[in-house]
């Protein structure tokens, strides 16, 4: 684990995996405050069905959750997403601590690449921390556009050049009816 520690107001920021339901609920609360509360993201878009198959990482100041990130796993890469830091704690390096923990976990599981989708206004933040756009010409135009970005898990092993499609869209989870089946699904 990284030796890097930071403190806010003289109190150390602790980074931990969400191992209990209470931890997951704290991560969800941070995300809800940042995305639903501040950015007016609809609940159905923020909590999209991937939460229970992902790893959640929390940043805490004492007992208070101040940041969170969701990390999803794929065959050869890990995808940090939903990076959120409570507004009053931004600018202290908490987001970078969370992403570094994602990198460490990805390395421990043998992933070679970190992949994320950044909003156009956040691209400079990610680039400042060693991420690069998959397609340098992609400016993330349009209301729901995202910019695909990558970073090697091990900085001494650079990534090969690759391009992303014009727009990377994650599929929506199917809607579930009261019986638990996807709406429009086969009921046999």
Q: Which pLDDT score is estimated for 5?
A: 78
> CA 9 to CA 6: how far, in whole Å?
10
Q: Beta partners for 67?
A: 59, 85
Q: Which pLDDT score is estimated for 168?
A: 41
Q: Which pLDDT score is estimated for 143?
A: 54
Provide DSSP, 25-41: HHHHHHHIIIIIIIT--
Residue 53: exposure state from Cβ atoms within 10 A (0-12, 13-18, ≥19):
exposed
pLDDT along the chain (188 residues), means of 10: 74 95 96 95 90 95 96 92 96 95 94 92 92 70 74 82 46 55 53
Q: Which pLDDT score is estimated for 82?
A: 94
Q: Where are the beta strands (DSSP E) in 53-184?
A: 55-61, 64-73, 77-85, 113-118, 132-133, 147-152
Q: Which pLDDT score is estimated for 136?
A: 55
Q: Which residues, 6+ apart, have CB-to-CB distance to 40 below 8 Å?
A: none
Q: Which pLDDT score is estimated for 156?
A: 82
Six-digit token string for 172: 């929506």
In this structure, the chain runs to a length of 188
Sheet with 55-61: list strands edge to edge. Answer: 7-8, 11-17, 55-61, 64-73, 77-85, 113-118, 147-152, 132-133
Condensed to tens digits (0 to 9), the pLDDT of residues 127-164 reads 999 999 987 555 545 455 789 999 999 888 877 665 44
> CA 51 to CA 47: how far, in whole Å?
7
pTM assigned to the model: 0.79
> CA 34 to CA 38: how far, in whole Å?
5
Contact 149, 126 (CB under 8 A): yes
Contact 26, 51 (CB under 8 A): no
Ordered domains of the chain (ranges, CATH): 1-111 (3.40.630.30), 112-168 (no CATH)
Q: Beta partners for 65?
A: 60
Q: Which pLDDT score is estimated for 80?
A: 97
98 φ, ψ (degrees, to nearest 5): -65, -45
5 φ, ψ (degrees, to nearest 5): -130, 150
């Amino acid at each position: 684990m990284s030796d890097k520690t930071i403190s806010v107001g003289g109190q150390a920021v602790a980074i931990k995996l969400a191992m209990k339901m209470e931890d997951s609920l704290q991560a969800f609360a941070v995300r809800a405050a940042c995305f639903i509360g501040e950015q007016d993201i609809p609940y159905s878009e923020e909590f999209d069905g991937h939460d229970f198959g992902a790893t959640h990482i929390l940043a805490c100041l004492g007992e208070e959750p101040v940041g969170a990130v969701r990390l999803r796993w794929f065959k050869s890469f890990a995808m940090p997403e939903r990076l959120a830091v409570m507004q009053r704690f931004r600018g202290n390096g908490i987001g970078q601590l969370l992403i570094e923990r994602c990198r460490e976990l990805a390395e421990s599981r043998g992933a070679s690449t970190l992949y994320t989708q950044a909003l156009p206004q956040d691209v400079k933040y990610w680039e400042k921390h060693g991420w690069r756009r998959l397609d340098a010409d992609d400016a993330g135009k349009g209301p729901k556009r995202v910019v695909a970005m990558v970073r090697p898990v091990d900085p001494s092993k650079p990534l090969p050049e690759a391009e992303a499609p014009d727009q990377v869209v994650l599929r929506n989870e199917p809607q579930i009816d009261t019986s638990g089946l996807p709406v429009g699904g086969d009921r046999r």
